[in-house]
Chains A and B, each alone.
Chain A
Amino acid sequence: DVKVTQSSRYLVKRTGEKVFLECVQDMDHENMFWYRQDPGLGLRLIYFSYDVKMKEKGDIPEGYSVSREKKERFSLILESASTNQTSMYLCASYRAERGNTIYFGEGSWLTVV
């Protein structure tokens, strides 16, 4: 089975802490994404990457950075967590060919207190 794995399902962090959310896919996909999902706002794109060391800002990149040192791993970094970053974070990936299925992780629930 194809798989997108998010390292942490539930995290509680303090304001100002540095937070790493890890995502690993085992399908050799070029494209990887980070979204956040909030009630009433749907899925909003934070960053995406179409190749190793390549990244592009999504719709809401402020307060976040990303790292893609290896093809299978895409990390989302909150340099200094704030309470308004409390959310559910979703990672997704797919192969860079037209029409291919997109695979999602199970989500990481982050609470910043």
Chain B
Amino acid sequence: DAKTTQPNSMESNEEEPVHLPCNHSTISGTDYIHWYRQLPSQGPEYVIHGLTSNVNNRMASLAIAEDRKSSTLILHRATLRDAAVYYCILRDAGGTSYGKLTFGQGTILTVHP
């Protein structure tokens, strides 16, 4: 199964941009890159996903490397409500494991006022 690697933690100040990296060197050609975040005592919530091209939505941007072996989630202006654990995951869409989702450890983002 394709794995992802993320830093254990990152810190940011409020109103500043945050770049959360994710390495996925064993990604397959049809895997989508998904980002989710989890607030304390809640289930993960969707942030953004993409395949090859950079993606933007109201929450964040996703920058995908040309070789797709890494990606970066960009929060343009961090707020205190963005403090969460951020997970980068790949959709395993091949063979008998179709649909299986594997989570890494995630990155704990701390936002300072």
Contacts and interface: CB of A to CB of B under 8 A. Distances in A.
Interface stretch (B9-17, B44-52, B73-81): B44-52
Q: How large is the interface on B (under 10, 10 to 19, 20 to 34, 35 or more residues)?
A: 20 to 34
B4 to A, nearest CB: 11
Contacts of A104: 36, 43-45
A99 B43 contact: no
Nearest to B1: A59
Interface stretch (A11-19, A68-76, A77-85, A90-98): A90-98
B106 A42 contact: yes
B99 A106 contact: no
Given A104-B43, A107-B42, A99 B106 contact: no
Contacts of B102: 45, 59
Nearest to A9: B41
B105 A50 contact: no
Given A50-B98, A99-B51, A99-B91, A35 B103 contact: yes
Contacts of A30: 99
B7 interface: no
A61 interface: no
Interface of A: 4, 30-31, 33, 35, 42-45, 48, 50, 56, 58-59, 90, 92, 94, 96, 98-99, 101-107
23 contacts: A4-B43, A30-B99, A31-B99, A33-B101, A42-B106, A43-B44, A43-B87, A43-B103, A45-B101, A48-B99, A56-B96, A56-B97, A56-B100, A90-B43, A90-B44, A96-B98, A96-B99, A98-B30, A98-B91, A99-B32, A101-B49, A104-B44, A106-B43
